[in-house]
Amino acid sequence: MSKLKITATIPAMKPYCYCWEKWDGKTWITTEEFSVSYDDGKVAFKITVGPGFITDGGSVPKPLHDRIGPLGMYLLAFLVHDVLYGCKHLDREIADWILLEIMDYLDDIAYDSTVKGGWFSRQKEKIDRLAGKYSGYSWFKRNAAWRLVRRLGGAAWDTKSPVKVALIRKQIQFELIKT
């Protein structure tokens, strides 16, 4: 298991519709506060996000949803990444690296839980049939997602206006402990 230390609460979310629009099937809004403490030895921070934070989970292309669900096992990583992209308190490269680190951390937890049985154990059997080795499949999946973010995430980063960043920062408490 990695040296990464994470403490988090995952919020309740509901579909988000602007005014009377039909729900787009991918946009969610948090209905309660959530917080995340992160420390990988190099970067450490704590974020607290109030209710009303809008997210799409993972911005995963629809054809890949069966492999990397936008709200699945990596939801915590996607939420932290969306918050970091929204508030821009850290550089984009660091925000993207944190996404990969949290995904790796979540994979470690999932893999360790296979020893104890339960849901992940059943999923491991499916993954073993598809890829032959659980950890290898997870490595491929999370790194493929990270490469997509590195390649295509610049558009999301660049289109956030200073006004939008300021509005998001009002909703988020960000405490940088070390860089």
Annotated domain spans of the chain:
5-178
pLDDT in tens, 14-27: 888 877 778 877 88
The predicted pLDDT at position 92 comes to: 95
pLDDT in tens, 43-97: 999 999 999 999 988 777 777 666 777 777 788 999 999 999 999 999 999 999 9
**How far is the C-alpha of 46 from the C-alpha of 167, rounded, in Å?**
19
**Locate tokens 């999370």: which residue?**
142
User: Does residue 135 carry a pLDDT above 50?
Assistant: no
Mean pLDDT of the chain: 81
pTM: 0.81
pLDDT grade, residue 131 (50/70/90)? very low
User: Does residue 34 carry a pLDDT above 90?
Assistant: yes
